[in-house]
Chains A and B, each alone.
Chain A
């Protein structure tokens, strides 16, 4: 098949949500692990590069092919089993990589799974599970993301403030290597020792190597290349590895117990600095001398800048697609959204009263809040939050009509807690200095904000791109991460280069060579492709 006809037939598979366009010669939609093995073996024989795809909702272009073969896992979309650990009251689901987050949520909500082909233990576990309410805590805003994709970029989302990222809820993985051999890894079973790791494949081949020595950033959310720690659990190497080491064919995810009450509150503060003070208070830090830390422990803390609210206010009035989102009053300046989970509504109500007092003490107004005390209302606040990236995407599409070279310009960087105010000052000053239209929103609880620039023309687009590189450098200097949840993919390689030296990146390349000696998998992802000197 030549490239032209491939693009005609399978054009959509040459791109993902990053809107970068790639190229490929062939594609396969395996339904079983065996089919992945066969496809990988064939590619290895032909030395054909392989791009792995899930639901293609990634923003860093990891799933965009740069030639070669595509292995698209969207048809491996079955939940294949369940497990209940009675001793520790832990419940797990075994899923194929193409299962969508929305599917998992629906299954859990209705407590209904297609159990054809499940073993007896799984069916029994499901009966236990049905007695209680469970949920999967990893919640990237995009629910059409696949679980495999979420593992690959160590996704997180709003509730990672309480529950951590995807990594914290992955119990086991099956990974198909390029030679067709399979690694089956279970958390807590294989650790590196003094910087050396040894893994055994299912065919009995031993794979060993050295854990890289580069220093990971001291932030709660990080997906900047391979995870490394001297005595790390080896499953962690593959989580967040952007599909560069092997193809994930099965994942066991851990679920959490749903709390009986789940509320949301959006708080509008009179200015940004007061909003930041509120965030700091919500994180449990003292903001006034003599004041006790708040008892309220939110599961998510999200932020909407003044410009973000302005954008939503305008779109609500003029765009029918957003006409049903909550109306933002003209005097609402900057917003903080929190979610609170407890075992009773009454407990949350008490915490909300405390929150009201803190808001007033900080110069805010208790009336300038939206409280969602039931699932339907909470959905409205989620829709409001989700409208932010949607509005940005729509405006980018508009800008693209004027100049097709324009793509989405959103950051995904996080910094340590103590740098929150510094990083906000940096964003605000640089956006103003460059006269750009910048909208800031996101996971402020983890100091992880998405700064989106909406360029009016190519000149502004270029300016913003340069600015992102400067920010990557400054954020690396603050001890932050240049990619917190989207993965490095192909688009953020220049940022990673600001964070890590060439020597550090070579350490990552060496890890890849151990598992993928021909460098076939997701070439040009995380780091640029360098041909090995010892290979033709």
Chain B
């Protein structure tokens, strides 16, 4: 079977510092990594490969430097990787991103399964997976927490919901997004890193994927960022000291004055 895993490059930290002047994320000295949610998608693809046999394609859209991240994906068990990179793709929102990724999928060709992480750790939208599936016209399910069995034309899975789990059967080809619970992603080995070093990453630009110029990048984006800002926390706190009685008295006064 042929599996495509969509992978995004994100800043490798959850402690994001914002530049107070430009209101953008300070990316200096923060190494770029594979979106942590996508590591579960890669791992699940590799587990399917080990159990049923498969060829895994890693697919990403991003800056040219993201090819090194795809090399990391290869060291985790991905067989081949394609990076969609072009100035025309820049500034894409989730709609344009999923359209562009769809063009990448078309270039890779027939597939049985696309696996995406639940969402990206920087954008947090969780829209690209479902949007990509709609664009490609295939079935999709989000929040997959377990793949029970893969049959010839369908796949038996567990899906996490607000109330518990749903047991579902999806017809293939399909797209799934997976949650953290699905597995423990492995780390690369010295051997796999040596192999990944030699691997070739396919680079595809706008002209390579037969895309509509009005549907990629900033032009193809339905949403646009007008401005970004760091929220100002204006919380005044006071410390009440003294004996318990004094503290209660003071607190009562404060609450009454504040009319709470």
- Tell me whether B187 is interfacial, beta carbon within 8 Å: yes
Q: Cβ of A369 and Cβ of B12 under 8 Å apart?
A: no
- Tell me whether B194 is interfacial, beta carbon within 8 Å: yes
Q: Cβ of A369 and Cβ of B184 under 8 Å apart?
A: no
- Tell me whether B21 is interfacial, beta carbon within 8 Å: no
- Tell me whether A269 is interfacial, beta carbon within 8 Å: no
Instruction: Give the contacting residue for B189; candidates A109, A325, A366; CB below 8 A.
Output: A366
Chain A residues 344-375 with CB under 8 Å of chain B are: 349, 352-353, 355-356, 359, 365-375
Instruction: Flag A259-272 by CB within 8 Å of B: 1 or 0 each.
Output: 00000010000000
When distances are taken between beta carbons in the complex, the residues of chain B under 8 Å from A326 are 184, 186-187
Q: Cβ of A356 and Cβ of B190 under 8 Å apart?
A: yes
**In the complex where A133-B29, A349-B193, A353-B194 touch, is A371 in contact with B13 (Cβ < 8 A)?**
no
Q: How far is the CB of A362 from chain B (nearest CB, A)?
A: 13
When distances are taken between beta carbons in the complex, the residues of chain B under 8 Å from A366 are 189-191, 194
- Tell me whether A32 is interfacial, beta carbon within 8 Å: no
Q: Which A residue's beta carbon lies closest to that of B183?
A: A327
When distances are taken between beta carbons in the complex, the residues of chain B under 8 Å from A356 are 190-191, 194
Instruction: Flag B188-199 by CB within 8 Å of A: 1 or 0 each.
Output: 111111100100
Q: Which A residue's beta carbon lies closest to that of B17?
A: A110
- Tell me whether B153 is interfacial, beta carbon within 8 Å: no
Q: Cβ of B184 and Cβ of A324 under 8 Å apart?
A: yes
- Tell me whether A297 is interfacial, beta carbon within 8 Å: no
- Tell me whether B124 is interfacial, beta carbon within 8 Å: no
- Tell me whether A514 is interfacial, beta carbon within 8 Å: no
When distances are taken between beta carbons in the complex, the residues of chain B under 8 Å from A353 are 190, 194
- A108, B12: Cα distance in complex, Å: 17
- A324, B40: Cα distance in complex, Å: 12
Q: Cβ of A369 and Cβ of B194 under 8 Å apart?
A: no
When distances are taken between beta carbons in the complex, the residues of chain A under 8 Å from B36 are 376
Q: How far is the CB of A138 from chain B (nearest CB, A)?
A: 22
Q: What is the interface size of chain A, counting residues whose CB is below 8 A from a CB of the partner?
A: 31
Instruction: Give the contacting residue for B191; candidates A316, A327, A369, A381; CB below 8 A.
Output: A369
Q: Cβ of B187 and Cβ of A323 under 8 Å apart?
A: no
Size class of the contact patch on chain B: 20 to 34
When distances are taken between beta carbons in the complex, the residues of chain B under 8 Å from A325 are 184
- A133, B194: Cα distance in complex, Å: 30
- Tell me whether A28 is interfacial, beta carbon within 8 Å: no
Q: Give the interface SS of chain A, mostly helix, strand, loop or mixed.
A: mixed
- A376, B197: Cα distance in complex, Å: 21
- Tell me whether B109 is interfacial, beta carbon within 8 Å: no
When distances are taken between beta carbons in the complex, the residues of chain A under 8 Å from B191 are 356, 365-367, 369
A-B contact count (CB 8 A): 65
Instruction: Give the contacting residue for A377; candidates B29, B187, B190, B197; CB below 8 A.
Output: B187
When distances are taken between beta carbons in the complex, the residues of chain A under 8 Å from B164 are none
**In the complex where A353-B194, A367-B192 touch, is A372 in contact with B187 (Cβ < 8 A)?**
yes
- A326, B190: Cα distance in complex, Å: 16
When distances are taken between beta carbons in the complex, the residues of chain B under 8 Å from A377 are 187
When distances are taken between beta carbons in the complex, the residues of chain A under 8 Å from B75 are 371
- Tell me whether B218 is interfacial, beta carbon within 8 Å: no
Q: Which B residue's beta carbon lies closest to that of A377?
A: B187
Instruction: Give the contacting residue for A352; candidates B12, B33, B193; CB below 8 A.
Output: B193
Q: Which A residue's beta carbon lies closest to that of B197?
A: A349
**In the complex where A352-B193, A369-B191, A371-B189 touch, is A110 in contact with B15 (Cβ < 8 A)?**
yes
Q: Cβ of A327 and Cβ of B184 under 8 Å apart?
A: yes
Q: Cβ of A374 and Cβ of B33 under 8 Å apart?
A: yes
Q: Cβ of A370 and Cβ of B189 under 8 Å apart?
A: yes
- Tell me whether B31 is interfacial, beta carbon within 8 Å: yes
- A257, B13: Cα distance in complex, Å: 20
**In the complex where A352-B190, A368-B189, A369-B191 touch, is A109 in contact with B15 (Cβ < 8 A)?**
yes
When distances are taken between beta carbons in the complex, the residues of chain A under 8 Å from B189 are 366-371
- Tell me whether A474 is interfacial, beta carbon within 8 Å: no
Q: Cβ of A374 and Cβ of B190 under 8 Å apart?
A: no
When distances are taken between beta carbons in the complex, the residues of chain B under 8 Å from A133 are 29
Q: Which A residue's beta carbon lies closest to that of B188?
A: A371
When distances are taken between beta carbons in the complex, the residues of chain A under 8 Å from B193 are 349, 352, 371, 373
When distances are taken between beta carbons in the complex, the residues of chain B under 8 Å from A75 are none
Instruction: Flag B4-40 by CB within 8 Å of A: 1 or 0 each.
Output: 0000000011010100000000000101010010000
- Tell me whether A419 is interfacial, beta carbon within 8 Å: no
- A316, B186: Cα distance in complex, Å: 14
- A367, B194: Cα distance in complex, Å: 10
Q: Which B residue's beta carbon lies closest to that of A265?
A: B190
Instruction: Flag A369-412 by CB within 8 Å of B: 1 or 0 each.
Output: 11111111100110000000000000000000000000000000
Instruction: Flag B174-191 by CB within 8 Å of A: 1 or 0 each.
Output: 000000000010111111
Chain B residues 120-171 with CB under 8 Å of chain A are: none
When distances are taken between beta carbons in the complex, the residues of chain A under 8 Å from B29 are 133
When distances are taken between beta carbons in the complex, the residues of chain B under 8 Å from A355 are 190
Instruction: Give the contacting residue for B190; candidates A369, A375, A376, A381; CB below 8 A.
Output: A369
Q: Which A residue's beta carbon lies closest to that of B181?
A: A323
Instruction: Flag B48-66 by CB within 8 Å of A: 1 or 0 each.
Output: 0000000000000000000
- A374, B12: Cα distance in complex, Å: 8
- A359, B190: Cα distance in complex, Å: 10
Q: Cβ of B31 and Cβ of A375 under 8 Å apart?
A: yes
Q: How far is the CB of B40 from chain A (nearest CB, A)?
A: 11
When distances are taken between beta carbons in the complex, the residues of chain B under 8 Å from A323 are 184
When distances are taken between beta carbons in the complex, the residues of chain B under 8 Å from A327 are 184, 186
- A353, B189: Cα distance in complex, Å: 11
When distances are taken between beta carbons in the complex, the residues of chain B under 8 Å from A109 are 15
When distances are taken between beta carbons in the complex, the residues of chain B under 8 Å from A349 are 193, 197
Instruction: Give the contacting residue for A371; candidates B12, B17, B190, B197; CB below 8 A.
Output: B190
Q: Which B residue's beta carbon lies closest to that of A266?
A: B187
When distances are taken between beta carbons in the complex, the residues of chain A under 8 Å from B17 are 110
Q: How far is the CB of A132 from chain B (nearest CB, A)?
A: 10
Q: Cβ of B12 and Cβ of A375 under 8 Å apart?
A: yes
- A24, B187: Cα distance in complex, Å: 50
Q: Which B residue's beta carbon lies closest to that of A109?
A: B15
When distances are taken between beta carbons in the complex, the residues of chain B under 8 Å from A110 are 15, 17
Pick from A323, A327, A368, A376 the residue with the most CB of B within 10 Å.
A376
Q: Which B residue's beta carbon lies closest to that of A345?
A: B31
When distances are taken between beta carbons in the complex, the residues of chain A under 8 Å from B188 are 370-371, 373
- A389, B242: Cα distance in complex, Å: 41
Q: How far is the CB of B55 from chain A (nearest CB, A)?
A: 20
Q: 25 A-B contacts, Cβ less than 8 Å apart? A: A109-B15, A110-B17, A323-B184, A324-B184, A326-B186, A349-B193, A349-B197, A352-B193, A353-B194, A366-B191, A366-B194, A367-B191, A369-B190, A369-B191, A370-B186, A370-B187, A370-B188, A371-B187, A371-B188, A371-B189, A371-B193, A373-B72, A374-B33, A376-B12, A377-B187
Per CB-CB distance, the 3 closest pairs between chain A and chain B, nearest first, are A366-B191, A370-B187, A356-B190
Contact surface of B with A, Cβ cutoff 8 Å: 12-13, 15, 17, 29, 31, 33, 36, 72, 75, 184, 186-194, 197
Starting from the known contacts A367-B192, A381-B187, 17 additional A-B residue pairs (CB-CB under 8 Å) come to: A110-B17, A133-B29, A265-B190, A316-B184, A324-B184, A326-B187, A327-B184, A352-B190, A366-B189, A366-B190, A367-B191, A370-B187, A371-B189, A371-B193, A372-B187, A373-B188, A376-B33
